[in-house]
Each structure stands twice: as structure tokens, then as C-alpha cells.
Structure 1
Amino acid sequence: MKLDIQQAITFGQKILIAQGVPVDIAFDVSEHLVTSDQVGYTSHGLSILPTYQKVLANGFIKADGRPELFNDQPAILGFNGNKGFGQHVGKVVIKQAIDRANKHGQCIVTVNNCHHLGRMGYYGEIAAASGMILLAFTNVINREPTVAPYGGATARMTTNPLCFAIPLPNGRPYFIVDMATSSMAINKARVLATKGLKADNGSMIDANGKPTNDPNVLFTNPPGALLPFGAHKGYALGLTAELLAGILTNGGTIQPGNPRLGAAMNNMFAIIINPDLVNKNNNWKDLESNAYIDYLHSCPPQPGIDKVQYPGEYEYNSKVNNNESIEFEDSIWKNISSLATKLNVTL
């Protein structure tokens, strides 16, 4: 199924409005999801709406939840997400942090108690478009753990994504790092399972702690677990995100003394940096950035690789290729259209 971009955003928005979500929040969520489809991340696109319907129906999301400021200092902002949709909450708090960084050179921003923030690169793009640098650490609570620690046979962690963003001169695509500290995002594993595809070797273990590439083991009872990316290195970064996002936000960690009600909630600790106030030598910054990116692009590629790219170029090129429309595979579209039919929503 192929939809033009505005049609897709309106369709997703109507599905959310039909479930009691206010118009502006529904727009923020749907626009975020469609952008994820545009940049090539089906796992974080409209395909996730059936999951959101279930958590809404169970009361884990507050349809009209909006961020509430509880810590207001010149260069520090702390928000309670009030169980709202993360795509709306995250957009609001990052934009407010950008305003503070314009005044003070930097802003630490925290948010707790919000539902799934979605594709973290979206917030990196907002920051970079404003000329800002973003360093963001997120943890996942209110659900069972999904990631085994390095050397562990059962899950004790979650996917705990990192996002780093840096604007680049001369209209180059933004440098955007958006990565789970696990071998993959749990939603990507769900998409693989839906399509009947296998995961990469070394990415997960079954309920007995044995290596497997069958993503269905993550959704059995008892479940298997994802593994950290890069063995002990990814494990260390995942723990960093858990502690920064879980402790400094006052939102909590995945430890079993906290609730595990079954719906993923996020806490985020982020730093917005205004590079123009940190280093005012803009001409030199632009020259040096361009010189290094040119040097990087000049690297001869390995056999089978077209060219060397930096993080963010893939997403940029995907969005250009999907600038007017996005296309859904039959298995993905079936789930979305079934939900729409259930809610009496039409294209």
C-alpha cells in the first residue's frame, strides 16, 4: 500500500483522534511516526499504532497527557510527562530546551513518566535544525526487561537508546546517531517476527540462555532476551543510559522494586549545547568540519560497499527518496488497516 505523506499523517492522526487523543497531540504523534517511515525505520512508524491502541485501551497512556515543568532553573529544565505520548512530550521539551540553550549556551533537560518517545533521531533533527548539539540518554521502565547484561543468561536491562546530533555546514545532512544499546530495538525484532525473517547471529538468546536468530523467542513465555551490541562495550553504554536517565530524571530504573505493568515508559536525560557560544570562531568551525567530512568521504570503500557515509546520511537519503510518499508491505498494512476498520476510520 502506498500513501502520500500528508495522507499518511492525516490517516494516523484520525486513528488517534478516534481513540480520544486531542488533535494537536495526535498530529505530533502521527507526524513523528510518518517521518520514521520516511527515513527507513518501519519499526517506529505507523506500524506501531496497533500497539499504542492496546496500551491506550488499558490506561497506560493518558490520551491528553502533556509535559509539566517541575524543575525550572536558567540552564536546567525538568519535566513530568504525565503518561502522555512520548512523541508529543519529547517534541515540546526539546524545543523548550533549545530556547534555553540559545540564551545560556547549554541546557540540561530531563523528562520522566512519558510513554514511548519513538525514534530518538527525530529529536536530534529538531536540535540540529536549530543549530544545536544534542546528547540524549533514555531508559525504559514499566515493563519486563528485554536485554541480557554482558555474560548474563536472562534479561536485566532494556534497549536504552542513545542519540547524538551535530549540525554540519554547507547544507550537509545532520550528523545523527540514533541507536539502541542492545543488538536491535525490540520493535525491530517484532517487525522481523511479523515478516517471518531471522535476526543476525549473536543478537539474542532464547529462554535457556542459548544463542538463536529466531526473533519469536522474545515473545514466548518465558521469553528470551536481546544481547547488548558490541558485547561489553554496548553493555557499558546501556548501563550509562540506565543510570543517567533513571536516576537524574527521578523516573526510576528497571530494577524489580519499581512497577512493571506491561507498557513501556521512557525517561530521558539530555544536554542541548549551543556550539556558537562554546566556540565563536564560526569560520574555522565550518572549514574544519568540511575538511574532515571530505576526508571521511574520500576513504576507499570495502568490497561490496558503495561509499563511506557518516551517521545521518542514510536517514537523509531515505527521506529524500520518500519525500512524496511511503509504501507499506502487505503484512504491515494489514495490521494498520485492521485497526482503522475497528475504529471506523477511512483513508
Structure 2
Amino acid sequence: MPVVEAERLESFSRRALESYGTPPGTAEIVASSLVDAELVGHSSHGVVRIPYYADDFVSETIDPTAEPTVESAGSFHQVVGGAAMGQLTGQRAVDLLVETAGELGVGVVGIRDSGHLGRIGEWAERVTGEGLLFSSWVNLQGGSQRIAPPGTADRRLGTNPTTFGVPTFDALPFDLIYDGATSQVAHGKIIERDGSGQRLPDAWTISESGEPVAHAADFEDGQGALLPLGGRATGYKGFGLATMAELFASIVGDGPVSSEERQDWNGNGAAFIAIDPTVFTTRDDLIERAARLAAHLRSAEPIEDDGEVLLPGEPEYRARQQRREEGISIETAVADELSALAADRDIETHLPDPLAG
């Protein structure tokens, strides 16, 4: 796999977005978000998305020049994407969330009609960086249905991630962040394998025959569905979480739910919540709790000799440090797509050499 420096990858991503008419400021926000996802090890939400965004620009599903708007009811807000880039919408929502929680001790922001919000863990990190607790529920507003209810292979829900964040201040060198799809894997894990010829792990999917879907291309053509988190044995848990995320996002964002077997993709809806923990406890007590819990969890003896207990957010913290120093590995199939896009948009001179093959 080719390895690219983060700065060069971000520069190319920004130029690729601008070639479709994305304003420089918006392109910078989106490119930074995509490369940050690569840095923390979540390539499913990284530059693999650029060709998909390009398709959205061409089909006019997403307007790269659009700006989100805000509807407020007192101290509570809804951010309406209006076909704007999701990272722009997410940033606006987080700004309002932090501002409101700073004033009132709690902030609630709904989102609807947003483009792809990207890695929700990024928004959690921004909120915990302000010393606030974070929680969110995200849906796909009825489109992009990919999760099957337990015992079926029919697509009915989006991958509907749930995310939680806790600031640790000086207790740990990173904040505690949980960010996960309510399916066995995020859909991005499928699309980054599209064109690679790799067989998908059997635990991810199910088809009408009860067998897993073999290849990403088959899944992208509509074959089978993603299993809910928990898989064949305990998927009712992930299905329950996905259902609740669907409703929380829809109600707080005031957007549609997944109620039709087939409907066009309408973007992300979400419910974002932030809480000032010092309303309920002291900063020192929060630090002490986080340190004590971390020590307790890490005291568990690994079964494997080289094993260790990693806390939520720790793999991303380590990956970011390592990839800033060593560069970012890009799947060959993704590199080929980016190279083809560069040729199509006449920006090959901006393509990092490792991606040119």
C-alpha cells in the first residue's frame, strides 16, 4: 500500500474538492476532517469518501457552496444542512453546542438534511476538548438502508452510529471516546474494499440464503445486508441501539425516519448533546474518577503475552501519533480511485507521488 504524508494528502484532498466548486474555506474544513480520520486509523471515513462526494456533486445531491442554517427555540437549536457539506454542518452544530453548554450547563442541537457528517468521534473530541461530556445519535434519514433486523436479510436501517465522550483533563493523555456504528462494521469498511477483490469477513453480512456476502462489489450492488452489532448471536442488541438512534436523531433533528423499503438518500440527521460536568461534580473529582477507573481496567491480566487493555479513544490517540511520524497507508484500490479522479479533474500535478502508482 502507498504511504503518504498527512500534509500532502490534505493538500490534494483540498484541491480535489475545490475542483468541483467547493469554496476554499469549506474545502479546508472537509479535507482536514477526512485526513484526521486517516490519522486516527478510521480510513472508512477518510479520503475514500472523496469519489463519493464527487458523485454527490455531479448528481447535485450535495451543493458544495451551500451553508447550513440554524433554527432556534429559546436555547435549543436545530442545524439544517440544506445539502451543505456534512463537515461544515457538524462544525456549526458543535460550535452552538459548546456555546450553549457553556451558558446553561447543557446543550442540545439537532441536525437534519446534512451531507455526510464524517467521523462523529471528531465532533466528540472537539466537545471534550472544551471540558464537556458529549453524546450523540445519528441516522441516515431513511436512505442508505443497510442493517437487517435480526433473523432477516432485508435492509431496513442505516448504520446509525452512537458516540460518547468524556474529558479526562490531566488524568490521561487522551479523552475517552466511544464512536461506533450499530452494525457489525461501518459501511465505509465495505466501500474501502470495493474493487480490491478481497473477501469480506463472514461476520459482517448476511444474504437471503443465510450465507454472508462474499465481496464488497456484491454488497454495493444491493446483495444482502449488514448484520446489526452483535451479529448472528446477539444482534438484537445492536438492532435495538440502531432503532433508538434512528428515533433520537429523527426527533431532535426533526427529520424523516427509515420507514420505506426504498427511498433516496437524504443525508444525515443527528441529536448532539453536551453537558458541563462541573455542574454536578468538580474537575478534580472527575480527574480522580477517570484515573481510578483507567487503572482498574488496565489491571485486568491479558490472556495473550503481548496483549494489553486499551481504553476507548486510546487506539486513535496512538494511531495519530504514529501516522504523523510515519505517514498514512492508503489502500491500493482507494489510491487508484484518487489517481483516476485526479486525471479526470486535471489536477494530477497535485497528486502525491505515492498515489500515482
What TM bracket, shorter-length normalisation? over 0.9
The equivalent residue for 1:338 is 340
The equivalent residue for 1:196 is 197
Alpha carbons 1:113, 1:251 under 8 Å: kept: yes
The equivalent residue for 1:211 is 211
After TM superposition, where is structure 1 displaced by more than 3 Å over at least 4 residues in a row? Answer: none
Alpha carbons 1:203, 1:229 under 8 Å: kept: no
> How far is 1:264 from its partner?
5.5
Report the AA paired with residue 176 of structure 1.
Answer: I
> How far is 1:194 from its partner?
3.1
The equivalent residue for 1:260 is 263
SS at match of 1:196: coil
The equivalent residue for 1:80 is 80
2:30 is the counterpart of 1:26: no
The 2-side partners of 1:150 and 1:244 are apart by 21
The 1-side partners of 2:203 and 2:66 are apart by 39
The equivalent residue for 2:110 is 110
SS at match of 1:8: helix
2:236 is the counterpart of 1:232: yes
Report the AA paired with residue 160 of structure 2.
Answer: N
The 1-side partners of 2:95 and 2:303 are apart by 40
The 1-side partners of 2:199 and 2:315 are apart by 23
> How far is 1:4 from its partner?
2.2
Alpha carbons 2:38, 2:47 under 8 Å: kept: yes
Where does 1:169-180 land on structure 2 (aligned, <5 Å)? 169-170=169-170, 171-180=172-181
> How far is 1:31 from its partner?
0.3
1:257-301 deviation line (CA, Å, top 9, x unaligned) = 9x823x46100111111112232x222221222111111112111
Alpha carbons 1:112, 1:249 under 8 Å: kept: yes
- TM (norm. structure 1) is 0.93
Cα distance change of structure 1 residues 236 and 172 upon mapping to structure 2, 3 Å threshold: same
Please identify, of 43-52 and 166-175, the stretch whose mean Cα deviation from structure 2 is larger.
166-175
1:62-89 deviation line (CA, Å, top 9, x unaligned) = 1112221112422x11111111111111
SS at match of 1:300: coil
Report the AA paired with residue 238 of structure 1.
Answer: A
SS at match of 2:112: strand
The equivalent residue for 1:272 is 274
> How far is 1:235 from its partner?
0.6
Alpha carbons 1:169, 1:289 under 8 Å: kept: no
The equivalent residue for 1:241 is 245
Cα distance change of structure 1 residues 272 and 209 upon mapping to structure 2, 3 Å threshold: farther
Alpha carbons 2:68, 2:80 under 8 Å: kept: yes
RMSD: 1.7
> How far is 1:144 from its partner?
4.3
Cα distance change of structure 1 residues 341 and 242 upon mapping to structure 2, 3 Å threshold: same
> How far is 1:179 from its partner?
0.5
The 2-side partners of 1:57 and 1:213 are apart by 30
The equivalent residue for 2:353 is none
SS at match of 1:335: helix
The 2-side partners of 1:210 and 1:48 are apart by 30
> How far is 1:57 from its partner?
0.2
Please identify, of 10-19 and 305-314, the stretch whose mean Cα deviation from structure 2 is larger.
305-314
The equivalent residue for 1:53 is 54
Alpha carbons 1:33, 1:44 under 8 Å: kept: yes
- TM (norm. structure 2) is 0.91
Cα distance change of structure 1 residues 71 and 209 upon mapping to structure 2, 3 Å threshold: farther
The equivalent residue for 1:5 is 6
Report the AA paired with residue 8 of structure 1.
Answer: L
> How far is 1:311 from its partner?
1.1
1:323-346 deviation line (CA, Å, top 9, x unaligned) = 143232322211112111211113
Match of 2:254 among 250, 259, 265: 250
Where does 1:16-165 land on structure 2 (aligned, <5 Å)? 16-74=17-75, 76-141=76-141, 143-165=143-165
1:66-113 deviation line (CA, Å, top 9, x unaligned) = 221112422x11111111111111012112210111111010110100
The equivalent residue for 1:297 is 298
Cα distance change of structure 1 residues 3 and 105 upon mapping to structure 2, 3 Å threshold: same
Please list every run of 5 or more consecutive structure 1 residues that lacks an aligned counterpart in the other structure: none
Report the AA paired with residue 308 of structure 2.
Answer: K
2:18 is the counterpart of 1:14: no
Please list every run of 5 or more consecutive structure 2 residues that lacks an aligned counterpart in the other structure: 351-357
Report the AA paired with residue 234 of structure 1.
Answer: G
- How many residue pairs get matched? 341
Report the AA paired with residue 110 of structure 1.
Answer: G
Aligned identity (percent) is: 25
The 2-side partners of 1:291 and 1:144 are apart by 41
The 1-side partners of 2:31 and 2:111 are apart by 21
SS at match of 2:137: strand
The equivalent residue for 2:355 is none
